[in-house]
Amino acid sequence: MRVTPHSRLGKISPYIPILDELSRGGVIVRLPALWLRFCLLFLLGLLLFFSLNHWRQGSALQPSLEPLPQDPLIQVYFNHSQAATYTEPYRQQERLGDDLEQVIVEAIATAQSSIDIASQEFRLPRIAQALQEKQRAGVRVRVIVENEYSRPWSSYTPEEVGQLDERQQGKYLEFLQLADQNQDGQLASAEISQRDALVMLQQSQIPVIDDTADGSKGSDLMHHKFLVIDRRWVIVTSANLTTSDVHGDFLSLESRGNANNLVKIDSPELAQLYTREFELMWGDGPGGALDSNFGLQKSPRPAQTVTLAPGSTVTVQFSPTSTSLPWQQSTNGLVGRALNIATRTVDVALFVFSDQNLSNVLQTRHQRGVQVRALIDSGFIHRDYSEALDMMGVAMKNRRCRYEEGNQPWSGAIATVGTPNLAEGDLLHHKFSLVDEHLVITGSQNWSAAANHSNDENLLVIDNPAVAAHFHREFERLYEGASLGLPTFVQQKIREEQTRCP
């Protein structure tokens, strides 16, 4: 079987094979001359090969920073790290960064009894292959995804692809670039079996459910990104298991992936808490009993702290939390409590920041002398409900000429707010904060009301100096060269709104 990708996408996709024909007529080439030409070209080819090989060996990409020490119980990785290099496995590009997919593959390889994965998206073939091997070895493997991403891309018809929005069509194109290994414009069964991760799981009879397993249309978002291995190892990441979140966009050679982090923790006690969250969602799995619990069907779960070693603790909380409960009891309430500890510095690197309560907490800390720096993704930072505007002392009305409810621009505006300088198309996808350079807040949860009150999420507060050092280095890397302050075009937009919304 061969699948031909959607023709409407041909103009922006290299899936139109071009066959060149060589003309043989009208030219007579003498055999000795042809042989001589072949020999000369062969020698030139050898010379070019050895020259390029020597150049590559002499100019191999080197890390620009020395690796930081890792805590034996908590390891930290960043796909944009400047202290490591790897060859990206699909485009074969040598690049800076930690290979987050390989970290997960190696962790899966150690599994002896069980692997549980809850990931909003699951599209990485090497992880699927690692799970196939463990399933064949008798390890129990279970996977939960978000219902919007529970269908293999290779199963979409041209008509269905045409109905996708621009963002989803972009994801489909990324899959085509990944799966069409010989670039002939068609997908063979073998290519699908090797590159469509969800098909690979189906072929190995690895059970997969999504957030409609409870009989509903799905929670707002099954936004988790965690693994539990042998009820001992926990991997928590801000990255979806996709090429664009881990390695980079195939349609852009400059792309190095959305900026993300991954934390690997050795703790049976913490694994037990994550397993409990997984079991609530899994129920009987694909059995059809409708006993899965997603979103607000789960009862409130307060934050719990695990001590890994003297001076090393991890606090975890899962979302969502009903709005009927005090905000302080929610996961964002845990973030607020961690921020309130600050006496010197707070650094935040976030994809989304729209929780007014957290902005108010940061303002209070700033008024008490705490230095606050914030980096927000460029696609979000200047929206009318972005708390970054509050931090810069301005407010923007929405299309209905109204301010966000409870909006509170800072009276002491700061200029240490902005966006990092990333390759075109790459996003700041982190969800972390660093408090006084020793307390780390990270996980899947964006700092928003939707994440707090609607989505399936997890958040960690890690008190560990070695872990904090890694996040400090990542923030400084992002902050260097960032565009800070209120851009001219935003100031102009605010002035225009004052005219439009008297």
Q: In what order do the strands lie in the sheet with 431-435?
A: 304-309, 312-319, 457-463, 439-443, 431-435, 345-350, 371-376, 417-419, 483-484
pLDDT above 90: percentage of residues in the chain: 81
Give the position of tokens 């073998």. Answer: 190
| Contact between 444 and 277 (Cβ < 8 Å) | no
* Average pLDDT over all residues of the chain: 89
pLDDT at 26: 34
Residue 188: strand, helix, or coil: strand
303-502 belongs to which homologous superfamily?
Endonuclease Chain A (3.30.870.10)
| Angstrom distance (rounded) from CA 95 to CA 86 | 6
Q: Which of 403, 415, 426 is nearest to 479 (CA)?
A: 415
| Angstrom distance (rounded) from CA 362 to CA 365 | 5
pLDDT at 41: 43
| Contact between 224 and 457 (Cβ < 8 Å) | yes
| Contact between 467 and 485 (Cβ < 8 Å) | no
Q: Kindly report, residue by residue over 156-209, the tens digit of the pLDDT.
A: 999 999 999 999 999 999 999 999 999 898 999 999 999 999 999 999 999 999
**Single-letter residue type at 202:** Q
pLDDT at 59: 56
By DSSP bridging, strand 140-145 and strand 208-210 are parallel
CATH number belonging to domain 1-6+64-291: 3.30.870.10
Q: Kindly report, residue by residue over 234-258, the tens digit of the pLDDT.
A: 999 999 999 999 999 988 889 999 9
- Tell me the domain boundaries of the chain: 1-6+64-291, 303-502
For residue 365, which phi and psi values (nearest 5 degrees)?
A: -65, -40
List the pLDDT tens digit at each of the 502 positions of the chain. 555 554 334 333 333 232 232 233 333 223 244 334 433 544 454 454 444 444 444 458 999 999 999 999 999 999 999 999 999 999 999 999 999 999 999 999 999 999 999 999 999 999 999 999 999 999 999 999 999 999 999 999 999 999 999 999 999 999 999 999 998 989 999 999 999 999 999 999 999 999 999 998 888 999 999 999 999 999 999 999 999 999 999 888 899 999 999 999 999 999 999 999 999 999 999 998 999 999 999 999 999 999 999 999 999 999 999 999 999 999 999 999 999 999 999 999 999 999 999 999 999 999 999 999 999 999 999 999 999 999 999 999 988 899 988 899 999 999 999 999 999 999 999 999 999 999 999 999 999 999 999 999 999 999 999 999 999 999 999 999 999 999 999 999 998 888 888 7
In this structure, what is the dihedral angle of CA atoms 319, 320, 324, 330, given to the nearest 10 degrees?
20
pLDDT at 3: 56
* Alpha carbon 470 to chain centroid, angstroms: 18
Q: 349: number of CA atoms within 13 Å, CB side?
A: 27
pLDDT at 453: 97
The CA–CA distances, whole Å, from 104 to 98, 127, 185, 328, 428 equal 11, 7, 31, 34, 21
pLDDT above 70: percentage of residues in the chain: 88
The CA–CA distances, whole Å, from 183 to 4, 19, 54, 161, 170 equal 11, 12, 29, 20, 18
Residues in Cβ contact with 116 at an 8 Å cutoff, skipping those fewer than 6 apart? 142, 143, 227, 228, 229, 274, 275, 278, 282
Beta strands in 72-113 (DSSP E): 74-78, 85-87, 94-96
**The two domains 1-6+64-291 and 303-502 share their CATH topology (first three levels equal):** yes
| Contact between 333 and 358 (Cβ < 8 Å) | no
